[in-house]
């Protein structure tokens, strides 16, 4: 098999396979939403909080989706949620609570979560505010994830993959020197 045939093999078979491996969003698409089932507890982590409402804000689009109120056992559910990363918040009769962890929703998958509504101490909030102010200064460019999901980022990933594959094939095809003096 000559160099041309191997290069053509790499470009037409290996490149799409690598692209789909590194960008599964191209395969999955937005064919349906995911589901989320959760429990809401008080600060003691055992007493259910009926009537609490879960709010999810999509990190990328900023769109907010809400669950129905939790039942008497503190169970709430959401269905047909657009896949993506979300920041969670819970509204109860007492107070609103925001959580700093991200929740990932996948298409066709039901996620399970449990929330304990615990208030932060004043010194924890001060430290968090200082860290958030530092992060706000750094996040003016949209972040690394935003770049690699943009068309330019996907093109860069594709070009890097093809360049690496061609370099590997070229390195394997280079014959050793035929000189008797080397």
Mean pLDDT of the chain: 77
Q: What pLDDT score does 117 carry?
A: 86
Q: How far apart are CA 98 and CA 87, in angstroms?
A: 8
pLDDT at 137: 47
Tell me phi and psi for residue 29, to 5 degrees.
60, -160
State the Cα–Cα distance between residues 128 and 133, nearest whole angstrom: 9
Per-residue pLDDT tens for 143-168?
Answer: 666 777 778 888 888 888 888 887 77
- For each of the domains in the chain, give its residue range(s) and CATH number, in order of start: 1-30+120-174 (no CATH), 32-119 (2.60.40.10)
* Residue 75 binned pLDDT confidence (cut-offs 50, 70, 90): very high
């Amino acid at each position: 098999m000559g160099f041309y045939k191997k290069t053509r093999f790499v470009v037409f078979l290996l490149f799409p396979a690598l692209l789909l491996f590194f960008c599964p969003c191209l395969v999955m698409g937005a064919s349906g939403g995911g589901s989320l089932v959760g429990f809401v507890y008080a600060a003691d982590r055992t007493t259910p909080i009926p009537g609490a409402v879960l709010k999810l804000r999509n990190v990328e689009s900023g769109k907010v989706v809400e669950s129905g109120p939790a039942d008497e056992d503190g169970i709430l559910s959401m269905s047909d949620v657009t896949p993506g990363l979300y920041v969670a918040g819970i509204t109860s009769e007492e107070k609103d609570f925001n959580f700093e962890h991200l929740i990932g929703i996948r298409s066709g998958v039901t996620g399970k979560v449990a929330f304990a509504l615990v208030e932060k101490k004043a010194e924890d909030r001060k430290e968090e505010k200082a860290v958030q102010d530092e992060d706000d200064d750094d996040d003016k460019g949209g972040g690394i994830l935003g770049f690699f999901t943009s068309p330019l980022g996907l093109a860069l990933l594709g070009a890097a993959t093809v360049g690496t594959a061609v370099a590997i094939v070229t390195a394997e095809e280079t014959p050793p020197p035929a000189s008797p003096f080397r």
